[in-house]
Structure 1
Amino acid sequence: MSRYIRSKRFGGTFFFTVTLKDRGSCVLVEHIDLLRECVRKVKSKRPFEIVAWVVLPDHMHVIWRLPEGDNDFSRRWQLIKILFTKILKEKTRYKSSVWQERFWEHEIRSDDDLKNHIHYCYLNPVKHGYVSSTRDWPYSSFHRDVKLGLFDIGWNGLLHTE
């Protein structure tokens, strides 16, 4: 049996991959507004900073920065998953389990590590063949970062500030 060891760091920055049970499903993009609302609700009660987020049809890559003194990202994910599943089942005919039980987590340990994981998030829709350019994928915090001047809309894999 696998033994999962989660980071115990307080106030850290973490990269996550969260996946649907049905890897052929498009539930996340079909119900993107529901996902966004669930994240907002959980975030309002258990704050965290969204550093980067990309939602694909059947999985998400996310980078969060937790508040100082807080390391409970597992509970946040649990609440998001529970709320999304509950409302999805109420609004649709979806009856089966939605999420894989676990998620993958990586503690960000340096500026380069952070940059590489942000790039991974933003390039993932291209990698999977959904779009030919990052700018064409609508379910990504990339567009927020363009508005903030952190990336150029024609970004090719390098940070605008480099």
Structure 2
Amino acid sequence: MARLPRFVLPGFPQNVIQRGNNRQQILFKEEDYWFLREKIGTAAAKFDCKIHAYVLMPNHFHLLLTPLSEDGIGKMMQYVGRYYVQYFNEGNDRTGTLWEGRYRATLLDPADWLIPVSQYVENNPVRAGLVSDPADYPWSSFAANANGAEDPMVTPHAAYERLGRSPKTRQAAYAKGFKTPLDEPRLTRIRDATNKAWVLGDPAFCNLVEERLNRRATPRARGGDRRSAAYREAAGRA
């Protein structure tokens, strides 16, 4: 069965994750992290993808980015995957695949989800038990978004810039969001949308995507008509 094309609208952000095969570790030494980070930054610039948040974890990497072209993410991920696998295999005297199939991604509504997903990405090390505070993890965009550290990989999104009139107020407002972790329903929505490649947004945003791409943007409701107004209203409250 042919794979459905991904949901891509140039100018709209995507939550992207690439895992190691069978969730195996892909990053071991500090040099591994530096190499992968450099390739991600190079690929993002080469293929016109603006990165708003990222984290490099031992067994996967996670990006919140906006592609400026329809094939930008695909080309970027292919570039990163190819170069990192070559580097990793040569350095570890191995052959074969490293990744768990295709990367996973979800198109999202920046108005409602850009900031929560950005914080979801940067809080990954805390949820994994690697650190107790996202500020203690060196391989993410938290220092840039919350503390104003220089990071050439990070391009602030308009939704982030609306957090305050100055860089300091934006950083403070963003950092404040980490004091109240995302609740389980929101975490579940982010994970489900990303893993199942559905659109993350309210009914109006999903309608916009469906009209532009002529495809269903959300899963069909069980035991009901997902096209009904009642269903759309309930989905928006989920």
For the aligned pair, the TM-score class normalised by the smaller chain equals 0.7 to 0.9
Report the equivalent of 1:156. 179
**Equivalent pairs: percent with the same residue?**
23
Alignment: residue pair count: 155
For normalisation by structure 2, the TM-score amounts to 0.58
Q: Distance in 2 between matches of 1:66 and 1:42?
A: 12
**Alpha carbon RMSD of aligned pairs, Å?**
2.3
1:127 equivalent in alignment to 2:127: yes
Report the equivalent of 2:60. 59
1:112 aligned partner, one-letter code:
D
Q: Distance in 1 between matches of 2:145 and 2:27?
A: 21
Q: Is the 8 A contact 1:29 1:139 kept in 2?
A: no
Q: Which has the higher contact order (CA 8 A, sep 6+)?
A: 1
Q: Distance in 1 between matches of 2:45 and 2:122?
A: 25
**Correspondence 1:2-151 to 2 at 5 A:** 3-25=3-25, 27-28=26-27, 30=29, 31-67=32-68, 70-72=69-71, 73-148=73-148, 149=168, 150=171, 151=174
Deviations 1:81-116 (A, max 9, x none): 001111222333232311112111111113221112
Of Structure 1 and Structure 2, the greater helix share is in: 2
Structure 1's unaligned 5+ residue stretches are none
Q: Is the 8 A contact 2:55 2:121 kept in 1?
A: yes
Q: Distance in 1 between matches of 2:38 and 2:110?
A: 31
3-state SS in 1 of match to 2:126: helix
Q: Is the 8 A contact 2:16 2:63 kept in 1?
A: yes
Of Structure 1 and Structure 2, the greater strand share is in: 1
Structure 2's unaligned 5+ residue stretches are 149-167, 182-238
For normalisation by structure 1, the TM-score amounts to 0.83
Q: Is the 8 A contact 2:47 2:75 kept in 1?
A: no
State the structure with more CA Rg. Answer: 2
Q: Which runs of 4+ in 1 moved over 6 A?
A: none
